[in-house]
Homo-oligomer: A and B are copies of this chain.
């Protein structure tokens, strides 16, 4: 399998990205190939002169331009046609790679992948799924920022896709799907949520448990949480900030105690950080795209990238996309979707 990765995307690119790629090839098969996309000279300067012969192949595809993290997605793609993200998506389009990975500008990735790779049949808009490691087990949240103007049908499709992802990639047998709202009762929520609930309810192949609230993500209530991209993005970043803030507060309070206590608490903190670390899950798949595309956190370290590469292989091997297409083609709305009726109204 060929996996192409944006060597220039992320706060610590290209160093950490290339380090992650090098870590991964030891864990891949000999027949696998990792393709680093970026300015050839820069990328090659980070590669060792020789690699172990048993490992997967590593190769470089030249892309002289870089889209910065804070650039406007569409505009930057138009201006920088030779950027690593643009080249990455073209490789996928031409069938020269089986998967794409980037820790760069998320908006640019979503736009480029969607434009070049197109959507899976039956999918109107792709969504980014992130796995939250919680005390009660991993919870997959979709969408966390690809689509900030969600229609009910988008949310329904996210439910189908994230559910299959949770099943095939995380091994959760019959994932419980919750719809993020502001109260567990049926009557609660905005209009989009109310309509989405009806769509999810009418698909008996979905283990839909109804509305969930923000707090339920960490309470073992569901395995999959569905929300529109704006809400999901706030959830993702709030969680990040809150965990950091809370550990800061704990540290501050501990420092008032004896130093010995601080020292003793350190390994406990480390274990928690490791256990509930999103880096373990590598990248977040862009579900609904016709291919395998993973988007990684801007702060990705080599470990994140290594895990993302392994996750991309698993995603591809488990044929998750085939299962999504299969499910959607048998959904109660498949005919209406094919005729293009439903997507206009819902």
Residues of A bordering B, CB below 8 Å = 70, 72, 107, 134-136, 145, 148-149, 180, 182-185, 187, 189-191, 213-219, 227, 229-231, 233-246, 248-250, 252-254, 257, 261, 264-265, 268, 271-272, 275-276
Contacts and interface: CB of A to CB of B under 8 A. Distances in A.
Helix, strand, loop or mixed for chain A's interface?
helix
A246 B245 contact: no
A182 B254 contact: no
A219 B239 contact: no
A199 B233 CA distance: 23
A215 B231 contact: no
Contacts of A234: 180, 182, 213-214, 227, 231, 234-235
A94 to B, nearest CB: 31
A58 to B, nearest CB: 33
A233 B190 contact: no
Given A180-B234, A214-B236, A234-B214, A268 B241 contact: no
A64 B219 CA distance: 36
Nearest to A237: B214
B244 A218 contact: yes
A331 to B, nearest CB: 26
Contacts of A219: 241, 244-245
Contacts of A185: 70, 72
A91 B276 CA distance: 50
